Structure 1
Amino acid sequence: MDLIRNLIDGGHKTLLFSQFTSMLEILQTKLDAAGIPYYLITGKTPKETRLKLVNQFNRDETPLFLISLKAGGTGLNLTGADSVIHYDPWWNTAAEDQATDRAHRIGQTNVVTVYKLVVKDTIEEKIIDLQNRKARLAEDILSGDAVSSSTLTREELLEILS
């Protein structure tokens, strides 16, 4: 909530992605209590409503758009935003990247800042570590460099998941 307030106070429009609709519901309760206006898209939002909300967000002063990661990962053009918050990490960085790309569309005139919220000493840190390892592995495979030294051992995978 502090990050959201700071972004609003700074005049920013923000996309907030969570993989959990239950977390979006918790945030809705807090935003309603604070009087902060927002839009919401989940997998249950009809296609026509999605388009209407996207167009409104890009045109009006509503500072925040809550979006479930899977519902907002593709097909939305949200150039009205200049900030993106990933509330919780997802195993597949491509899903997060696609969500972030909703603000990086043709017509974007602002620099977009991306925030990833990660709680210290949790599985989230391990997910981020796994994402980084996967990214390095993919980079090594594409470049042909040191593929064998980039693979995860059974012990490393168990450590990440423990």
Structure 2
Amino acid sequence: MDTMIQFGKVSKEFLLTLFFSLFPILCGSSLSAMWTTVDIKTALSANFSSGEVFIYTSAFLTPYILTRLKERGPNILREFCFYLFLYALGVGAFLFISVRLESMLAISMSVDKELVMYIGYTIVVATLALWYYSIWPNYNNFDPVKSQADEARSLDVKMSKLIDKGTK
């Protein structure tokens, strides 16, 4: 049950963070849909494919960086998350720069909009997974006093069993 409570708290923080971090994209898409013939889904897709999403996903990576700095020792999950971080940061920066350069230089650089949008979505998914991994320990309901008392009771039971075996 504690895990479900922890999951609920992390999810609440996630939804609030997601909403406020993507607020500029949501606002821009809403205004675009309201004042043009473009529907909201197309406007959102255009904002994600324009490379702007990298700005927001890189901000989401901050908790991961702080968590990573505190960790010590090898662990497969930590290593996988680190490579996911490098992917989200590196590929996201590359896409953002490519799309921005194409629009700033006003020349066609053969940047495939479909590919940019697809990779943008994978970056978002990788970033959200990293964010969840980083925030999860903050809501751990670990009570050291209760844990120590439980361990003491367990040791007491084991000791009593050993004493009972020795007296028989």
Please give the TM-score of this superposition, normalised by the length of structure 2: 0.24
Select the structure with the greater relative contact order (CA < 8 A; seq sep ≥ 6). 2
Q: Which one has a bigger Cα radius of gyration?
A: 2
More helix by share: 2
Please give the TM-score of this superposition, normalised by the length of structure 1: 0.25
